[in-house]
Structure 1
Amino acid sequence: MTKMNDLRTIEFADLTAAVDEARSLLASGYSRQGQWTLGQICRHLVLVQDPSVDGYPRWMSLFAFLRPVMRRWLLPKLLSGDSPTGIRTTSSFTPPASTDDATEVDRFAASVDRLLHYTGDYAAHPAFGRLPRARILEIHSAHAAHHLRFLIPSK
């Protein structure tokens, strides 16, 4: 587990800023403070945010009864940049070990563009339930910041 003081403090005004940061890391190079490469982080972000449009796996609704607790406990931590580290994600959201950084940054950018231009209702978030569009986008921006803070740009 990584100590919090080893990580960058970053916050994104929106997902476009997260894409800009991913592109900047790709251009500058980076060192890792965590387990995943830039490509793995971008793949994870795509795997997590695409279901906002496409729908989450049905089995995730089994935990819907926890949503009130998660909205009170985890959501404020995530949005404040204080989300916990070291928590394993489900295998469906785990990126493969080998990814290409440039390819995955492009996929992340395309996923963000799709999410931003989607005009329908977003699917209910598995941990937080049905939320307004702006809150879903805020969650995905904070989630991107949570993961990208583990990468330190090369000088």
Structure 2
Amino acid sequence: MSWSAVDDAQQLLASGYVRHGNWWLGQICRHLVLVQDPSVDGYPIWMSLFAPLRPLIRRLLLPKLLSGDSPRGIRTSPIFVPPNNLDDAAEVDAFAASVERFANHSGSSAPHPAFGRLPRERILEIHAAHAAHHLRHLRCREETS
């Protein structure tokens, strides 16, 4: 994963930000950690129930995600929904640690629940695109002045 998402989150934290979506910076960072850590640790077994749909989902949704045109309105599984009472600075730090952990992970990645087993580079692209999707809903306070 590119460190640019971490840089973006740190910039938003430093400058202050205006929210244009549903989640605050801390919530976004927690969500990103909750979604990307299972790439190393493994996803819950019940998520493999969707395995028969992976070829279709990979063909239909993956190109949209990677092009920056993430599908909207898809409900997030409750296990990946962050709580409301989070500290932005602590969550940005946790996100940076999660990105570093994934970057330094030398083993194979767990199969993605929607896209299945993919090369490490593709998983990195997915996480980077996912982070960009969420972080674009926040704008640096400087940019909105």
TM-score, normalization by structure 1: 0.90
Which 4+ residue blocks in structure 1 deviate beyond 3 angstroms?
none
Deviation at 1:67, TM superposition (A): 0.3
Q: Percent identity?
A: 70
Greater displacement, 84-93 / 73-82: 84-93
Q: Equivalents in 2 of 1:67, 1:41: separation in Å?
A: 25
Q: Equivalents in 2 of 1:130, 1:84: separation in Å?
A: 21
**Structure 2, unpaired ranges of 5+:** none
Match runs of 1:1-155 below 5 Å: 14-155=1-142
The DSSP-based 3-state class of the residue aligned with 1:152 is strand
Deviation at 1:15, TM superposition (A): 2.6
Q: Equivalents in 2 of 1:85, 1:103: separation in Å?
A: 27
The DSSP-based 3-state class of the residue aligned with 1:31 is strand
Q: Equivalents in 1 of 2:100, 2:48: separation in Å?
A: 26
Q: Equivalents in 2 of 1:111, 1:102: separation in Å?
A: 14
Deviation at 1:87, TM superposition (A): 2.0
Q: Equivalents in 2 of 1:87, 1:103: separation in Å?
A: 27
CA-based RMSD: 0.7
Letter in 2 for 1:126: P
Count of residue correspondences? 142
Deviation at 1:86, TM superposition (A): 2.5
